[in-house]
Amino acid sequence: MLLPLTLWMLLFGLSAVLGVAPAYDPALAQGTLWAIVASVGLFLAFAYLARTAFIVRVLSSLLVTAGTLFALLYIGQYGHQGDPEAPALIQQWGVATTFLPNLGLMRFHPNGVATLLEALLPLAAAAALGGRRLIFRAAGLLCLAVLGYAVLLTASRGAWVGLAAAGLLALLLRLPRAAALALTGLVLALLAAGAWWALTGGLQQVPALASTLATAESRLELYRNSLRLAGDYAFTGIGLGDTFGMVYSRFSLLIFVPYLTYSHNLPLTVWLGQGLLGLAALAGIVIAFYGLVYRALRLGAPEAGFHGAWLGVTVSLMHGLTDARQYTESPWAMPVLFMVFGLAAAWARLALRGAPVRLGRLLLRGLAAAAGVGLVAATAVFLWQRPLLARWHTNQGAVAETHAELAPNLTDAERDGRRRFALEAYRQALAVDPDAAYASRRLGNLLVATGDYAAAIAPLEATAAAEPDYQAAVKGLGLAYVWVGRIEDAARTLARLDDVPAMVGELYTWSTYRGEIGQTQLSQYARQAAEALAQAGG
């Protein structure tokens, strides 16, 4: 009964191992790799080695206790570490409840703390509500209070939304069908009304909510950019670990310093780090897990802890739509999620122990599912053979270009060789699919980087028309215009960027740099473009 989930977990671990190869610096991938491998191992241990209900309860209690101790440490150090982005009232509460001296510990990122604790809070709630003895219920209530207060102090809106959604789901499952349907309709109506109110400017009337809207807008831009970046590395990803910061800056924003460290979305982060195989494994894990939950609820009589575990996973997955701290605080945030996965699987196995298992039917279902997936994949390859092949060539070129730009310890000859390989790969992609805007963009921007400015114009013009809201396309074309002296075209194109003053400053920086290395003509072009853009943007 656990086999499908186990297979997807193992595939997820394998995708992490394969995700080291595309990373421009394998050293950046090691921490996350070992965290994923250890997490998968912990899932297997919890799911299969916990053979009795007593062992599962003990493991759950130990995990909640450890989380509560961590929450107390976070609460006790809050006033020494601070969180300037939290609402003033929460900051006041946090300072007032700081009960430990400054221990000089590493700063606990609030969203990382929320990611760790949110999966344990439903487990504590299950202990408080379903404990077999009064002392266990009292201990569960105490842990629930500490964990809940710590999550409140994190001011993590994603965690709050995830907990609210999980709580609503738990309530719906407890209600009669008619009442559950009525409550679902009411919640959907309220959400629709809230969306209408927000879209008609209601959020601007409430400063606290206006800041939420600003955050949402910046996140949506990040998601759009990250999705296009993932498309450039569609099959392999950019590589596991701390690779996102420089790759995103260099190839999405066309700047040379890190700006953001991760994509703030769990599926996108997995796709970028572990490639298409990792994304497929994540989807398989989610489907297999909730299939197991459904079967346990329908055929078994699971303990309260089972509900706490699967709801804890649900909270983390909901939060994962707006954040992915498992990939930044990997050594301690990721294992917790996989241990809760394992607890839910162990409780489900125990709940289904007496349920009838029809191996023949299960085998037929597995074969049918495999055949369906194979048929869909074969149909996709048949229908989109040329775009898929173009994506593959672009992926190969993008990895080579990334290594040429960012990999340490390469000689100049090795970097030039990788750039030539990338240029050829992008041209192969365009030969297969001339309308592949992503390949045109990568080709044009690489031509600009190698100094072939005139040749970069045509592919970047095609890309800017196809991707008019993507900075890598618009800015790339604008810079190409600058370096060939088409100042008016450059100013008109760069004026489409969201932050024109920042672009003006960057052009002046380019002018200074080009002058320092003796490229007088290009320095003048950059200065003229900065002046023209300042007038156009003013």
pLDDT in tens, 361-374: 656 666 666 667 67
What local confidence, expressed as pLDDT, does residue 63 receive? 97
Higher-confidence position of 393 and 536: 393
pLDDT of 357 higher than 90:
no
Question: How far is residue 135's CA from residue 185's CA, in Å, rounded to a whole number?
Answer: 39
**Mean local confidence (pLDDT), 275-303:** 93
Going by pLDDT thresholds of 50, 70 and 90, the confidence category of residue 358 is low
Last residue of some domain: 304, 332, 354? Answer: 354
Share of the chain above pLDDT 70, in %: 90
pLDDT of 69 higher than 90:
yes
505 touches 523 (CB < 8 A): no
Tell me how far the alpha carbon of residue 230 is from its chain's centroid: 11
pLDDT of 359 higher than 60:
no
For residues 348 and 464, membership in a common domain is answered with no
Higher-confidence position of 153 and 356: 153
Domain range enclosing 227 = 3-354
What local confidence, expressed as pLDDT, does residue 370 receive? 64
Estimate the share of the chain in helix, then strand, then coil, as percent rounded to the nearest 5: 80, 0, 20
> 217-227: per-residue pLDDT in tens?
778 889 999 99
Sign of CA dihedral 72, 78, 79, 80: positive
Number of domains observed in the structure of the chain: 2
For residues 140 and 257, membership in a common domain is answered with yes
Maximum Cα interatomic distance, the chain, rounded to a whole number of Å:
82
Last residue of some domain: 335, 354, 373? Answer: 354
Higher-confidence position of 383 and 531: 531
What local confidence, expressed as pLDDT, does residue 100 receive? 94
**Mean local confidence (pLDDT), 493-513:** 94
Nearest by Cα to 357 from 401, 307, 299: 299
| 143 inside domain | yes
What local confidence, expressed as pLDDT, does residue 355 receive? 59
For residues 463 and 338, membership in a common domain is answered with no
**Mean local confidence (pLDDT), 150-160:** 94
Sign of CA dihedral 409, 412, 415, 417: negative
pLDDT of 404 higher than 90:
yes
Going by pLDDT thresholds of 50, 70 and 90, the confidence category of residue 232 is very high
What local confidence, expressed as pLDDT, does residue 175 receive? 81
For residues 14 and 148, membership in a common domain is answered with yes
For residues 193 and 319, membership in a common domain is answered with yes
For residues 254 and 138, membership in a common domain is answered with yes
| 153 inside domain | yes
Going by pLDDT thresholds of 50, 70 and 90, the confidence category of residue 133 is confident
| 61 inside domain | yes
**Mean local confidence (pLDDT), 85-92:** 91
What local confidence, expressed as pLDDT, does residue 61 receive? 95
Higher-confidence position of 378 and 64: 64
For residues 464 and 332, membership in a common domain is answered with no
| 278 inside domain | yes
Helices (H) and strands (E) in the chain, counts: 23, 0
**Mean local confidence (pLDDT), 317-344:** 94
> 169-201: per-residue pLDDT in tens?
888 888 887 887 887 888 888 777 766 766 566
Nearest by Cα to 442 from 306, 175, 304, 252: 252
Question: How far is residue 183's CA from residue 303's CA, in Å, rounded to a whole number?
Answer: 25
| 344 inside domain | yes
What local confidence, expressed as pLDDT, does residue 383 receive? 60
pLDDT of 202 higher than 60:
no
What local confidence, expressed as pLDDT, does residue 362 receive? 57
What local confidence, expressed as pLDDT, does residue 124 receive? 95
Question: How far is residue 111's CA from residue 179's CA, in Å, rounded to a whole number?
Answer: 35
| 376 inside domain | no
Q: Where are the alpha helices (DSSP H) in 200-329?
A: 207-232, 244-248, 266-299, 304-319
Instruction: Tell me 253's DSSP state.
Output: I
Share of the chain above pLDDT 90, in %: 74
Last residue of some domain: 354, 389, 416? Answer: 354
| 292 inside domain | yes
In the numeric block, which tokens belong to residue 405?
A: 């730009």
Residue 513: strand, helix, or coil? helix
For residues 169 and 23, membership in a common domain is answered with yes
126 touches 99 (CB < 8 A): no
| 416 inside domain | no
